[in-house]
Amino acid sequence: MKQKLLFFFVMISLSYCSALYAQNRTISGKVTGTDDGLPIPGVSVKVKGTNVVVQTKGEGEFSISVPQDASSLIFSYLGYTEQEVRITGSTNMNVKLSPSSRELSEVVISGYGIKQSKRDLTGANAIVSGKDIANIPVQSFDNALSGRAAGVQITSSSGIPGANVTVNIRGISSITAGNDPLYIIDGVEVISGDKSRAFPTSNALAGINPNDIESINIMKDAAAASIYGAQAANGVVIITTKRGKSGKTQINFNAYGGVSKVIEKAPILNTAEFITLSREAVINRYGSIALAPAAVQTVLTSFGDPLTAPTYDWQDAVYRSGALQNYDLSASGGDEKTKFFISGSYNKQIGQEIGQDFKRGGVRFNIDHKLSNKISFETSLNLSSFTQNGTSGGTAFASPNRTAMLMPPTNPIYNADGTYNTLLYGGYPNNVVQTAEYNITRANTKKAIGNFTGNYQITSDFKFRTSFSADFSYIAEDGYTDPRTPDGAGVSGRASVASTTFKDFNTDQTLNYAHTFNKHRVSAIGGLSYKQEINEGNNASGTGFPSYQFKTLQSAATPTVANSFYTAYKQIGYFVRADYAFDDKYLASATVRYDGSSKFGSNKRYGAFPAGSVGWRLSKEAFLSDVKWINELKLRASYGILGNSRIGNFDSRSLYQGAGDYAGLPGINPTLGNDNLTWEEAATADAGIDFSLFKGRISGGVGAFIKKTSQLLLNRNLPITSGFATIATNIGKLENRGIEIELNTTNILAGGFKWETALNATFLRSKLLELNDGLQSLDNTYFVGQELLMYNTSKYAGVNPADGNPMWYDANGNITYSPVAADRQFLGSQLPKGYGGITNTFSYKGISLSAFIQYQYGNKINNGDAQFTRRMGSTIDRNQDRSELRRWQKPGDITDTPKPYYNTGVPAAAQSGGVTYASPYGATGRFIEDGSYLRLKNISFGYTLPSKLLSKTGLRNVQIYAQAYNLFTITKFTGLDPEVQGTTSGIVPQYKNYTLGIQLGL
């Protein structure tokens, strides 16, 4: 053993001083890329069959001493297809490498520093290159992933810049414990989701500059993710940021800017239509306006004459032309020993809705150093700060988009003297233009994410790796309700502050082994991982300000809230993983992780999560070796168990907690614990085929999976007489099954013209298998035997042409006016049956044009806004949707909009035969709509200046580009935006924007 090692080291050392080999000859040359024709530094050049390796220098040049008997050189570089070039008599060799981003030879980083060639993968991974998401005008990379990977559904349901997004990998596998995947950025387990406390929506991942990202590996199945054990059930997303390469220092500058607009405004009535509808509703209710109560008559009179009364466009006032700008400056380079990537970025987006904006500044330092041949280390550090300004969100009266949609158009926005009109008639007391200007809703997040990794190459086979990571986040929020607004007037202004910190620390210690002998290739990793999170914060608020000019808490007359909290958890995991390949043909992998968490009940602290997978590279078999058009063909299958530990930190404990006070005394409140509370368990079976055909012109993969989640964390209802409504219990089962397709084709490749298509499609079905205590349904949303998140309500049957009254279907499919609970039926799930994305890229020389379409189908949306905007004059205190114009007016009218009646659904006088009519605008199937859509998400055009033009300028490359985002949408959904999951109620609609940018390389 020792001798072998010695020999190995000698070989390596000798290869660096190859000049010593007098009998050898030297081959030199230059390596460039076929994509941009630029030199590639850092390419590894290896003499085949030996350990002689050199790397190309700053201008792509290399010089290698080769033995006389050497047959060929192998050129390899991350992201490019490996190339073998035969050694001829010439001592000069110029090589062009072509990018391999869509081929199976890609290197994949899958956590704990494990690097694998994509061809060796036996699990289900979706890999997205940083290039694919660069410069997309969104604030967080998770949002930019939308539509890019099979099995990954991203829903950005708010158009507030920096908003949180919903990420569902392979459907939703939990009902209550959360469906967010685990995010790992350069070895750091980072916090994700919305961690703000008062701000409408804030994405913790918005602190990462998407343009710093090199690649994203989404690990979907048990084989890929099981090394993360109890945290992996929702998938694991491994983000690798850019790192330096040895060679000449490269400076890159990138800037883009543009404008944004709201994707769609709500179609609402103008004043004339609004008055006409209101009058009609009152007349239908009382017989005539004169017979209506005096108060109602006064209101109608105040509206004025429909022919002359002006329309005040509140939506016009709350939406504006937003602006965005983004700047990145990075430098990367290094030498054999030290490599660096440093970058700074600034991003600013002024929202398309008043009062909303986003600003982020950040820097990144990624430094690698090789102390010796045995010891090396890598460090990553991301420092960033982002600030969001917002407005009251959702259905709050001060929510601009919501109130603008519902404000009676008869209300002027401004008084004659230019001041804000605050004497507003109707159900919405806030002048939202005023509140957006006067009130403050702000969140600032500061983040420091850092990692230190040390590597110690013990022997050629064994490596010890130690990694320490921290994610520190500080969120400061402040709010101010101005005393000049209705919400603030009663208390003479209200100010609040909140600060929240997350201190996450994780460390991994691993021992890696890799050995190749004969046809056997073995690698293994064993180690442990420890993590703790401390989350604490405080908040205070006060009321009673001397005037609106005083906005800080210090001026408040009365402190109303002072609060703080602390919560924490710890987890530890031990894991072993082994990969084996025989003859590069038969692949096998096995993982087991033993995980414990402080969140789990004392009886169920630890659990084991095993997984195994196999692969068979058919293309390596002799019987396919003659089939020239098959370059790669692999079958793979896996099975394993994953956990979901996303439960409350102290949910398992019976505790008393400070709660409530009375007469100046503090109170405490009991909670009911469960010693058996533990992780949810997802058993995943996966099978797939990966291929690359016709020299990579067609490549991709098709996979199928079944994921069964058991031990679902559900609240078992307790009889309230016990003093407790529910207890968290692990009980219940659900299932997701699906098919995932990824296909990349080069359709045309001729005369420098290239047309490529990248397509991903996912077909997904979910089913609830079991609930607690034999219950058949939960929250009227989950039903045993049905898809998850099911709408179960009365199906709307339209309007009776004879009398204009709304009708529904009863349990037997007959018409009824007053559906009861038994008449409810399943109208569809909030989850899509399928989704995906298609990108077409056309390039010719330096010009490229790319169009990205995202789609989903088969999901239902509850148009919650319509419950307020389609009331047929029942409440004449709010504006209505334009669909009210097709309301029933006379017998024989065929329509879906019932006859208007003021102050009720159908009044008693109009009811026949003692039938009580259900409210036409209640939450029924009338507002459950098809949420399928197809959206042209992104079009980008780029032009790279030819290098000839640049040679005199000293610039390495120049690219100018233009993009349009959320350009258009095809959908039947009649609400504001179909890109939501569930109910749309007061959401800030998405933006569309147009940007222009430039990229300079020095």
Partner 1 sequence: MKNKIIIITLGVALTLSSCKDVLDTEPRQSISAQGALSSITGVKGLLTNVYDNIQASGLYGRDVIIQSEVLSDNCRITTVNSNRFILEYNNTLRTGHFDDFAAIYPIINKCNLVIDNVDKTTDGTPTQVASVKGQALFLRAWMYFTLANEYAYNPKHIQGGFDLGVPLMLEGVSGLSQVTYPKRAKIGEVYTQIKNDLDVAISILDNTGGKILAGKAAAQALRSRVSLYNEEWQSAIDNATLAINSNLATFVTTPTVAGYASIFNQKISPESLFELNYEVTESLGTTSIQNIYQRLGNSATSSSGYGDVVPQNNLLAAYEANDVRKAATLLAVNKGGEPVFWVQKYAGSSGTFSVDNIRIIRISEMYLNRAEAYARLGGQDGLAQADVNKIRNRAGLPSTLATGAALLDVILKERRIELAYEGDRWFDLIRRGADIVKDNGTLTFATDIRILAPIPQAQLDINNPNLVKNPGY
**Which residues in 504-523 contact partner 1 (CB under 8 A)?**
509, 511
Nearest approach, Cβ of 792 to partner 1 (angstroms)? 15
Q: How far is the CB of 490 from partner 1 (least distance, A)?
A: 4
Please state, in angstroms and rounded to a whole number, the distance separating the CA atoms of residues 385 and 400: 26
Q: Provide the CA 242 distance to its chain's centre, in angstroms.
A: 20
Stretch that binds partner 1, among 225-233, 658-666, 844-852, 962-970 (CB under 8 A): 658-666
Q: Cβ closer to partner 1: 77 or 545?
A: 545
Residue 343: its H or E element: strand 338-350
Partners of residue 247 on adjacent β-strands: 334
423 binds partner 1 (CB under 8 A): yes
- Residues 471-500 touching partner 1, rule: CB under 8 A, are 486-487, 489-491
Q: 266 to 305, contacts with partner 1 by CB under 8 A?
A: 293-299
560-592 burial code (b ≥16 CB/10 A, e <16): eeeeeeeeebebebbbbbbbebeeebebebbbb
Q: How far is the CB of 560 from partner 1 (least distance, A)?
A: 5
Q: How far is the CB of 530 from partner 1 (least distance, A)?
A: 6
Question: Quick one: 255 or 491, whose CB is closer to partner 1?
Answer: 491
Neighbours of 349 (CB within 10 A): 26
Hey, which residues between 708 and 737 contact partner 1 (CB under 8 A)? Answer: 717-725, 727
Q: Taking contact as CB under 8 A, which single stretch among the options 158-166, 211-219, 553-561, 973-981 is the one that binds partner 1?
A: 553-561
Residue with Cβ nearer partner 1 (798 or 907): 907
Q: Does 671 bind partner 1 (CB under 8 A)?
A: yes
Q: Does 911 bind partner 1 (CB under 8 A)?
A: no
Cβ closest to partner 1, residue 321 vs residue 654: 654
Q: Which helix (H) or strand (E) holds 63?
A: strand 61-66
Whole-angstrom Cα distance, residue 607 to residue 593? 8
| 198 vs 202: CA distance, rounded Å | 10
Q: Does 655 bind partner 1 (CB under 8 A)?
A: yes
Q: Least distance in Å: CB of 664 to partner 1? A: 7
| 427 near partner 1, judged by CB under 8 A | yes
Q: Which of 572, 578, 960, 996 binds partner 1 (CB under 8 A)?
A: 572
Single out the residue of 561, 820, 909, 970 in contact with partner 1 (rule: CB under 8 A). 561
Note whether 630 and 693 are within 8 A (CB): yes
Residues 855 and 858: their CA atoms lie apart, in Å, by 11
The CB-of-469 to partner 1 minimum distance in angstroms stands at: 15
DSSP string, 12-54: HHHHHTGGG-TTSEEEEEEEEETTT--B-TT-EEEETTS--EE
Asked if 820 and 813 touch (Cβ cutoff 8 Å), the reply is no
Taking alpha carbons only, the member of 262, 234, 394, 252 closest to residue 322 is 262
Cβ distance to partner 1 smaller for residue 670 or 813? 670
- Burial code (b: 16+ CB inside 10 Å, e: under 16) for 684-701 equals bbbbbebbbbeebbbbbb
DSSP state of 903: T
List the interface residues with partner 1, window 861-880 (CB under 8 A).
877
**Does position 664 bind partner 1 by CB under 8 A?**
yes
| CA 775 to chain CA centroid, nearest Å | 33
| Candidate ranges 125-133, 152-160, 419-427, 981-989; the one touching partner 1 (CB under 8 A) | 419-427
First to last CA, the chain: 48
Q: Taking contact as CB under 8 A, which single stretch among the options 13-21, 82-90, 330-338, 666-674 is the one that binds partner 1?
A: 666-674
Identified binder of partner 1 from the candidate list 248, 653, 697, 956, rule CB under 8 A:
653
Other CB atoms within a 10 A radius of the CB of residue 883 amount to 16
Stretch that binds partner 1, among 113-121, 179-187, 332-340, 646-654 (CB under 8 A): 646-654
CB of 299 to partner 1, least distance (A): 7
Q: Does 596 bind partner 1 (CB under 8 A)?
A: yes
| Pick 552 or 669: Cβ nearer partner 1 | 669
| Region of 78-86, 546-554, 667-675, 878-886 interacting with partner 1 (CB under 8 A) | 667-675
Closer Cβ to partner 1, 415 or 558, answer by number: 558
Is 914 a binding residue for partner 1 by CB under 8 A? The answer is: no
Dmax over Cα atoms in the chain, in whole Å? 113
As beta bridge partners, residue 759 has 743, 838
Which positions from 239 to 268 touch partner 1 by CB under 8 A, shown as an x/- string?
------------------------------
Which of 166, 560, 825, 947 is in the footprint of partner 1 by CB under 8 A?
A: 560
Identify which of 555, 531, 527 has the alpha carbon closest to the alpha carbon of residue 541.
555
Residue 655 or 915: which CB sits closer to partner 1?
Answer: 655
> Binding marks (x or -) toward partner 1, 825..864, rule CB under 8 A?
----------------------------------------
Residue 517: which residues within 8 A CB-CB, separation 6 or more?
A: none
Q: Which of 670, 801, 891, 946 binds partner 1 (CB under 8 A)?
A: 670
* Stretch in the footprint of partner 1 (CB under 8 A) among 43-51, 570-578, 752-760, 850-858: 570-578
Among 558, 625, 747, 912, binds partner 1 (CB under 8 A): 558
CA dihedral sign of residues 226, 230, 234, 235:
negative
Total residues interacting with partner 1, rule: CB under 8 A: 87
Segment interacting with partner 1 (CB under 8 A) among 110-118, 665-673, 891-899, 925-933: 665-673
Among 424, 641, 743, 831, which residue interacts with partner 1 (rule: CB under 8 A)?
A: 424
Which position among 287, 546, 667, 801 is part of the footprint of partner 1 (CB under 8 A)? Answer: 667
Cross-strand partners of 316: none
Min separation Cβ 927 and partner 1, Å: 18
For residue 927, give Cα distances in angstroms to 111, 184, 816, 817, 865.
45, 40, 17, 16, 9
Per rule CB under 8 A, is residue 574 in the interface with partner 1?
yes
Beta carbons of 385 and 360 less than 8 angstroms apart: yes
Query: What is the gyration radius of the CA atoms in the chain, in angstroms?
Result: 32
Name 600's Cβ contacts closer than 8 Å, sequence gap at least 6. Answer: 606, 645, 647, 652, 677, 678, 679
User: Counting contacts by CB under 8 A, is residue 85 touching partner 1?
Assistant: no
**Cα–Cα distance between 140 and 263 in angstroms, integer?**
19
**Which residue type sits at 837?**
G
What is the C-alpha separation between 496 and 552, in angstroms, rounded?
A: 8
Beta bridge partners of 185: 188, 239
Q: Which is nearer to partner 1, 53 or 114 (CB)?
A: 114
Query: Nearest distance from residue 323's CB to partner 1, in Å?
Result: 33
Min dist. Cβ of residue 15 to partner 1 (A): 23
> Which string of x and - marks every residue 14-53 that binds partner 1 (by CB under 8 A)?
----------------------------------------
Instruction: Measure Cα distances from 97 to 32, 34, 280, 397, 741 in Å.
Output: 6, 6, 74, 60, 28
Residue type, 732: G
Please report, as residue ranges, which positions from 960 to 979 form the binding site for partner 1 (by CB under 8 A): none
d(CA 593, CA 532): 18
**Span 600-639, contacts to partner 1 by CB under 8 A:** 605
Under the criterion CB under 8 A, does residue 311 sit at the interface with partner 1? no
CA distance 284 to 907: 9
CA distances from 660 to 563, 651, 670 (A): 12, 20, 12
Q: Please, which residue, 649 or 889, has the CB nearer to partner 1?
A: 649
Among 92, 662, 890, 914, binds partner 1 (CB under 8 A): 662
